[in-house]
Structure formats: structure tokens, C-alpha cells
Amino acid sequence: MEQHNPTHVVLVSSPGLGHIIPMIELAKRFVLQHNFKATVLAVTSQTSTAEKQILNSALTPSLCHVIDIPSPDISNLVQPNDRMVTRLCVMMREAKPAIKSFLSKTTPRPSALIVDIFSTESIPLARELNILSYVYVASHAWFAALVLYSPLLDVQIEGEYVHQKEPLKIPGCNPVRPDEVVHPMLDRSNREYKEFLTTGGGIPLSDGVLINTWEELQRETLQALREGGLLSEALNMRIPIYAVGPLVRQPESETSSVTHSLLTWLDEQPTESVVYVSFGSGGTMSCEQMTELAWGLELSERRFIWVARAPTEEAVDAAFFTTGSNAGDEVAKYLPEGFLSRTRGLGLLVPEWAQQANILKHGSVGGFVSHCGWGSTLESLTNGVPLVAWPLYAEQRMNATLLAEELGLAVRPKVLPSKKVVGREEIARTVREVIPDDQSLTSNSVRERVKEMQQSALNALSEDGSSYVALSHVAKTIERGCGKFDAAF
């Protein structure tokens, strides 16, 4: 019998767990849902132990093929003080020859190239091969709208965005408060801003945009992106927009001894009684803030698991390129005196990095103090866990506003943690708000709303659900090979 080659999609991810993990999850969907062959080209920083672990675990069992492309040496192309987005964009620019070489040699011949938002300069490679290209925004629709609209804001607005008196207007979407713009927009004179505009400006060259959200969560914003004239006004063109999420990391079957003991401890705790505290792959805080957080957890009188990193006064994303690589036993020395003995049995400290998906799935976890990275956010929501929003960098301030003010899925401290130190009383208050004294007696609207969204997410991904159907459209379009004519989206 004649053997048919499977349709082959190649997905390209920039360094960072928040980029690599969602790309692998999308690749798996193409394999499981559509029998495609999917290859993830993961450009890696080579300085993060956690990144290496994730890649290794993605290789077995091999649902999708993951190829590690070590980031080219960019030391001559960036300055020591260049920021994260600059580094990511330069790394992805320099990785283009390796991506091109893979695309031209791999078999079966790829039918589509899918890139993340820091890799849009690779879209022309798809054109050269005459195949379709897509951008996967591993975040939400409001963020996608801001990225797409930012070239227009660049023309419309004079001076720094953060100095504007009025929120920034994006047609059809909620306005963005000046101090909540994405990190690269905080300083327009920094190279990071120009790199951000360039990479965002590349999105319309693609045949479509996939977003890790779902219709029910962001119906109006998705509508604005599609019909509200946003794209046509900004770019004089339309591209299909597909909400394909929430695609999240599932618990790992192989757990470390640390995870094993965390899960055993969780087994002994009451249902939804433990707050999980973690700031993603890169989040760090000052020494003063770490002290307040420790006191806040203690004052809240809630059980906790805290993934803690040694404090730094430098930047809030200091661990981004080195996640999991620093000696963890350092952490305890920065905590208030007696903290560990006073909280013995009540809380556990995990240095640097934890198997988060395994922890969040446990029924004893009832709240998540999170930096609101979109991956962590979705992992929380799909497990029915309400958040305390603690945004630090990237698009996290927007995420926090979306979650707390628009969707009612999180509570947030009164001050922005990236600007001011959040005090211990305030921390205790927010933690107690997501995990009240007696949940059976209290009507907790944040928790109820999160449970509704958990169900809504399940529905979106189930067969005939909106995200399932959207990805099926993409798959069919790839099989047919005619992207921009996908009228349904």
C-alpha cells in the first residue's frame, strides 16, 4: 500500500520557559488532534538548567520532535546593559541561518512555519519555501492587540507612554493604562523598544495569528481584532485570528524527589488550603520585598509552598536566562530570623524552580501568588485556582489588570509590585481573600468565577469546542496550503 507522508509543521521558539513550553504544547496538539508531524526548533539560552530539563522531558515520550538550537554567540551584538527583549530578538535574528538550513533539508517537506512573537523575522523564510506561516502569541488577545497596534501608537503618541495622562486607546479594546504598558514600551529611547516594534511589525506578514486564549474568555477583544477595524485601521490589512487555547503544560509523569515530597505533604493538607507562591522562570525581588513576603505569608496563617530565589536589587527579571541554575540553599539566609522554624509544618520553601504543573493540579492548592506570566495564569485557571496577581515585567501588568479588573479571576495588592514594596499586611490580606477562613461558609466570588472559567476552558478544548474548531481550521488550511483566504476567521 502507498504510504502517505504526514503533514509537517515546524514551530520556532525563542529562549525562555514561557516561550518554549507553550510552543511544545501547540506542537503536541497538531500531533494528537491532526496526526501531523511537528518539529519544535527551540533556540535555547544554554544558561538555564530548567530550560534543559524541559527540553529533555519533551524528548520522551516523543510526541513531537524537539530540536535544541543553541543560541548563537551574540556578545558582540549587544551591550552588557541591553534588556531581555533586545537579547531575545538578536538571538532569533542570528539563529535564522540555522532555521533556514533546517527548513530546506528536513523531510517531509514542511507545509507551515509557526513562530513566536520574537521570531517574526523568520517569516520570510516561509515565503522563500512557498509555505504558510503563522505567529503563535502565547499570551492573550488584549496583548496581541497592543503589539499589533503599537506601530500606530508610535506615530500617534509623543513622549514616553508612561508620562501620558490618558490611557492608550486601542480600537475595540480596553484602553491600556500608561504604567501598565508592556516592558519594552516603558522607555522609548531604549533599543528594546525598537526591537519590540520591529518584531511586532512582522506579524502581519504571516498568514494568521494563533492566540493562547479562548472565545468565552475574551470574546470582545477577539472580535475587535477580527472585525472591529483594528487591523485594517492599523495595518490596512486583515489576517485570520485563531483563539486556540488554553494550551497548558500537563503534570510530568516523572517527578523529582523534591516534587515527590511536596506532593506527599500536599496529600496531608485540607482541600484548597495551600497557597502556592512562584514568580515564573525569571521573576526576582528585592531583599526588602522578600522579607515582607515572608512576613505576609506568616501573618496570613495559610499553608504555603513558596518557590524562592535569592533576592536581587538589579531587575525584576534577573533570572530569565539562568532559571534553575543558581544554588538554592542561598535563599534561607535572606529570610526573617526564625521564619523557617515558626512556619515548620505549615509551609515549604522550594529553591529556584518547582514542577509547577504537578503542584497546581493537587486538590490541596487553593490559591496562587503569581507574577501572572500567561503560562502560569492558564495553568492556574485550568486547575480552578484563583490568583493573587503580582506582576513584575513583560506583559504581566496587563495580565494582572485583565485578571483582576475585567475577568474577576484574581485579587491584587493596592500597589504595583514592580514599583513599590508590597507590605506584609497587604500580602496577608490578599492571600486570605483567595483562601478564606472557612471556605464552606464564605461565598468566595473569585473562586466561583475561576471554577466557571475552568469549565469554560474545558469546553473550548473539547471536540466541537471553539478552540478545537479553530485549530482544526488552521490544520485544514495548512493541508490545503492557502492561508489568507480562511474566511471563517
Where do contacts with ligand UDP occur on this chain (CB under 6 A)? 16-18, 21, 249, 278, 280-282, 307, 353-357, 373-376, 379
Closest CB to ligand UDP among 371 and 447?
A: 371
Would you call 146 helix, strand, or coil by DSSP? helix
Distance CA 88, CA 98 (A): 16
- Choosing from 8, 19, 34, 140, which is the catalytic residue? 19
Cβ-based neighbours of 336, under 8 Å, separated by 6 or more: 291, 294, 295
Active site residue 116: yes
Task: State residue 335 phi and psi, 5-degree precision.
Answer: -85, 155
To ligand UDP, the closest distance from the beta carbon of 29 in angstroms equals: 15
**CA distances for 316 relative to 286, 306, 352, 378, 382, angstroms:** 8, 17, 14, 21, 26
CA of residue 249 relative to chain centroid, distance: 11
- Contact criterion met (CB below 8 Å) for 303 and 262: no
Cβ–Cβ under 8 Å, residues 28 and 58: no
Q: How far is the CB of 140 from ligand UDP (least distance, A)?
A: 11
To the nearest whole angstrom, how small is the minimum distance from the Cβ of residue 165 to ligand UDP?
30
Question: Residue 85 or residue 126: which is nearer to ligand UDP going by CB?
Answer: 85
Closer residue to ligand UDP in complex, CB, 281/291: 281
**Which one of the listed residues 8, 34, 116, 207 is annotated catalytic?**
116
What's the chain's length in residues?
Answer: 489
The three grid cell numbers given for residue 427, joined into one nine-digit string: 500580602
Q: Which residue is nearest to ligand UDP (CB)?
A: 18
CB nearer to ligand UDP: pick between 207 and 352: 352
Asked if residues 134 and 209 have their Cβ atoms less than 8 Å apart, the reply is yes
Q: How far is the CB of 355 from ligand UDP (least distance, A)?
A: 6
Using the minimum distance from each CB to ligand UDP, give the nearer residue, 46 or 101: 46
Instruction: Report the Cα 218 to chain-centroid distance in Å.
Output: 16
Residue 68 is among the residues annotated as catalytic for this protein: no
Sign of the four-CA dihedral 277, 282, 287, 289: negative
Tell me the closest approach of the beta carbon of residue 434 to ligand UDP, in angstroms: 18
Q: How far is the CB of 154 from ligand UDP (least distance, A)?
A: 25
- In this complex, which beta carbon is closest to ligand UDP, that of residue 161 or of residue 374? 374
Q: Which helix (H) or strand (E) holds 30?
A: helix 17-34
Active-site amino acid positions: 19, 116
